[in-house]
């Protein structure tokens, strides 16, 4: 997979028609990669699903590795969007964290997200850079955003923490517990919206108790 600073043709295609075609290709690649993994997916199958030629895909992405990288990037951006709430100015830190916790549960418990993480794990053996790219654009980016939120809360005197990074990691661990591990290895876990809210609230309240002034 190309380095993050490589300038792909996708970044230069500014015409609406080109952007729509690129979006269709990424959507088709996502469907193929999620269903079959990297190695078993082919440019031919992706082109057929996107209703474009192989030449078109190669002209924008050069190779399958770059296309997979764009799929990972899009998924990570989608993940980040799901952890960002709207109209949070008038909400307390507890309320903001409950929203974040519920979004985390909703996003990470999806069947396709579990499959995606399994695919990533297998692809890392082939190319460790894929894992680094995912971590940088997904979990590490989300952790950095949470750390910034906690640093602001510390300055406001809402909580105390000598190590905001450890506190942010603890928050994620309290919300997911061992569910992410169990899901990744095939256990079926279905929570209702009410159960997710209850789990999120308990996790946040436990976290707040540890970090109270």
Taking only the tens place, the pLDDT of each residue in 122-139 is 888 878 888 888 888 788
Nearest 10 degrees: Cα torsion 122, 128, 129, 131: 50
Residue labelled with tokens 């105390």: 160
26-43 pLDDT, tens digit each: 999 999 988 888 888 999
Question: Which two tokens mark 96?
Answer: 């903001």
pLDDT at 5: 41
Distance CA 119, CA 123 (A): 6
Q: Is the pLDDT of residue 1 over 60?
A: no
Question: Which two tokens mark 144?
Answer: 């950095």
135-172 pLDDT, tens digit each: 887 888 888 989 988 998 999 889 999 999 999 999 99
pTM: 0.76
Category of 196 on φ-ψ map: left (φ > 0), alpha (ψ -120 to 50) or beta: alpha
Contact 53, 47 (CB under 8 A): yes
All domains of the chain in start order, with CATH: 9-67 (1.10.10.60), 83-211 (1.10.357.10)
């Amino acid at each position: 997979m190309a380095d993050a600073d490589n300038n792909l043709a996708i970044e230069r295609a500014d015409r609406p028609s080109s952007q729509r075609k690129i979006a269709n290709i990424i959507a088709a690649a996502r469907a193929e990669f999620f269903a079959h993994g990297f190695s078993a997916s082919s440019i031919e199958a992706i082109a057929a699903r996107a209703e474009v030629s192989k030449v078109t895909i190669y002209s924008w992405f050069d190779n399958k590795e770059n296309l997979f990288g764009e799929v990972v990037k899009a998924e990570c951006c989608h993940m980040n969007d799901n952890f960002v709430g709207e109209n949070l100015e008038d909400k307390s830190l507890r309320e903001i964290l409950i929203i974040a916790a519920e979004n985390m549960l909703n996003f990470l418990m999806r069947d396709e997200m579990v499959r995606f993480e399994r695919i990533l794990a297998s692809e890392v053996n082939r190319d460790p850079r894929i894992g680094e790219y995912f971590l940088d654009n997904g979990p590490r980016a989300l952790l950095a955003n949470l750390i910034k939120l906690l640093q602001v809360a510390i300055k406001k005197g809402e909580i105390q923490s000598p190590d905001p990074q450890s506190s942010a990691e603890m928050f994620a661990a309290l919300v997911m517990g061992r569910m992410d591990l169990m899901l990744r290895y095939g256990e079926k876990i279905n929570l209702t919206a009410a159960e997710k809210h209850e789990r999120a609230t308990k996790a946040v309240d436990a976290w707040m108790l540890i970090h109270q002034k």
